[in-house]
């Protein structure tokens, strides 16, 4: 018997029903009562449509589209896309807070379909947003998040180990960045423009991985596929204090800093505004069950 997407191994329910989050973007349904859409897509001809989750709670060729700007009859996503490309303008927030990841500039939108084929990653293959490493970026309002009380989880694929690449940034204020960043041949998840770099680097790797970040007062830890890095100290001087949203906050790089744009596929990004240390292994198990790391 197949396990429904978003259901914990212990069959307790959808992931966010068990662990309410502050931000939540995914290619699967994360809350049982979530009635919104997964994404809004734009075709190469600039027609747009919202994309529903399919009968299995995932984005797929069989997903039903809604609100098509061209007024076509509601149909399945594969038919609507046809043989061309389709790009993400909105990745809807399933947390209940309605903080969607947005990109209005066509050339900066990550791709979900390429030449009529759904972009996928992993085994089993699951849908993914492809960021080109040149200018793709989805902006996210960072209001209410802070370094001292943040726990984040993500599934993404790195396709390059060269240079400095920012995977996400939930603050780009002068007081500090909250990012996943490639720097010096390593992976890190916190960088303070005022220095120092943190001490918990991972060797920079390609391929699909499950990442978790603990950023709680006094403790910073980066987890890759469930294995912890060394622990860094999160002090008051490191803590992020500027919560003003900017267009630089979000997934895929830092707009205006061309060398920081990140190439690869993104499948899920969930942010909590409280310590999830006691829940980390259960959350990772659920994500691993869905995406098959």
**CA dihedral sign, ordered 22, 276, 20, 252:** positive
* Cα within 13 Å of Cα(115), Cβ side: 0
Between 169 and 171, the more confident residue is 169
CATH annotation of 15-291: 2.60.120.200
Q: Of 89, 241, 250, 94, which is closest to residue 174 (Cα–Cα)? A: 241
Query: Which range, of 138-142, 248-252, 257-261, 280-284, averages the lowest pLDDT?
Result: 257-261
User: Beta strands 165-169 and 149-158: pairing type?
Assistant: unpaired
Q: What angle do CA 68, 72, 74 make, to 5 degrees?
A: 75
Highest mean pLDDT among 95-99, 157-161, 203-207: 95-99
Could you check whether the bond before residue 196 is cis, i.e. omega within 30 degrees of 0? yes
- 292: tokens are 């098959």
Q: Which whole number is the average pLDDT over 252-269?
A: 82
Confidence class for position 95, pLDDT limits 50, 70, 90 = very high
At 201 the pLDDT is 42
3-state secondary structure of 92: coil
- As a whole number, the mean pLDDT across the chain is 80
77 contact partners, CB below 8 Å, separation of at least 6: 41, 51, 59, 60, 61, 62, 63, 64, 65
For residue 235, count other CB atoms closer than 10 A to its CB: 12
Report the pLDDT value the prediction gives residue 193, as an integer from 0 to 100.
Answer: 45
CB atoms within 10 A of CB 72: 12
In terms of pTM, does the model score above 0.85? yes
The arithmetic mean of pLDDT across residues 31-54, rounded, is: 96
116 band by pLDDT with thresholds 50, 70 and 90: very high
């Amino acid at each position: 018997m197949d396990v429904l997407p978003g259901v914990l191994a212990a069959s307790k329910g959808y992931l966010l029903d068990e662990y309410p989050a502050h931000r939540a973007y995914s290619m699967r349904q994360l809350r049982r009562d979530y009635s919104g859409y997964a994404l809004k897509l734009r075709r190469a001809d600039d027609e747009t449509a919202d994309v529903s989750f399919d009968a299995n709670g995932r984005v797929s060729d069989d997903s039903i589209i809604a609100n098509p700007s061209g007024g076509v009859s509601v149909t399945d996503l594969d038919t609507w896309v046809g043989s061309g490309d389709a790009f993400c303008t909105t990745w809807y927030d399933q947390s209940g807070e309605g903080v969607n990841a947005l990109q209005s500039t066509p050339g900066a939108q990550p791709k979900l379909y390429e030449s009529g084929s759904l972009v996928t990653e992993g085994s089993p293959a699951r849908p993914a947003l492809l960021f080109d490493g040149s200018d793709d970026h989805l902006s996210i309002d960072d209001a209410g998040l802070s370094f001292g009380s943040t726990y984040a989880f993500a599934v993404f694929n790195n396709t390059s180990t060269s240079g400095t690449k920012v995977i996400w940034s939930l603050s780009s204020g002068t007081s500090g960045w909250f990012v996943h960043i490639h720097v010096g041949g390593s992976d890190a998840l916190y960088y303070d423009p005022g220095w120092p770099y943190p001490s918990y680097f991972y060797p920079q790797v390609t391929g699909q991985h499950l990442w978790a970040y603990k950023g709680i007062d006094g403790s910073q830890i980066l987890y890759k596929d469930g294995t912890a890095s060394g622990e860094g100290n999160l002090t008051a001087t490191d803590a992020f204090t500027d919560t003003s949203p900017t267009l630089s906050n979000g997934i895929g790089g830092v707009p205006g800093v061309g060398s920081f744009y990140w190439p690869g596929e993104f499948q899920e990004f969930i942010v909590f505004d409280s310590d999830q240390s006691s829940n980390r292994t259960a959350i990772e198990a659920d994500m691993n069950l869905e995406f098959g790391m």
